[in-house]
Amino acid sequence: MFLESEQLNSYLEDTTDEESSLLKKVNRETYLKETMPHMLSGHFQGRVLSMMSKLQQPRLALEIGTFTGYATLCLAEGLAEDGILHTIDINEEQQVRVQGYFDASPYGEQIKYHIGDAAEVIPGITGEFDLIFIDADKKRNLYYFETLIDRVRPGGLILLDNVLWKGKVFEANPDKQTQQVIELNQKLAADNRVEKLILPIRDGLFVLRKK
pLDDT confidence bin for 2, thresholds 50/70/90: low
**pLDDT by residue (tens digit) across 10-33?**
999 999 999 999 999 999 999 999
pLDDT confidence bin for 202, thresholds 50/70/90: confident
Q: By three-state DSSP, how is residue 13 classified?
A: helix
Nearest C-alpha neighbor of 82 from the set 105, 52, 60, 112: 60
Whether the predicted pLDDT of 117 surpasses 90:
yes
Domain parsing of the chain, residue ranges? 5-160
By percentage, how much of the chain surpasses pLDDT 90? Answer: 92
**Cα-based distances in Å from 158 to 113, 135, 198:** 19, 11, 12
**pLDDT by residue (tens digit) across 136-151?**
988 999 999 999 999 9
The sign of the torsion formed by the CA atoms of 115, 36, 24, 160 equals negative
**pLDDT by residue (tens digit) across 62-115?**
999 999 999 999 999 999 999 999 999 999 999 999 999 999 999 999 999 999
Buried b (16+ CB within 10 A) or exposed e, 35-47: eebebbbbbbbbb
Residue 1's pLDDT is 44
What string of DSSP letters covers 108-166? Answer: TTTEEEEES-HHHHGGGS-S-EEEEEE-S-GGGHHHHHHHHGGGEEEEEEEEEE-SSGG
Whether the predicted pLDDT of 38 surpasses 50:
yes
Superfamily of domain 5-160: Vaccinia Virus protein VP39 (3.40.50.150)
**Cα-based distances in Å from 206 to 29, 103, 112, 132:** 28, 30, 24, 12
Instruction: Specify the DSSP class assigned to residue 61.
Output: E
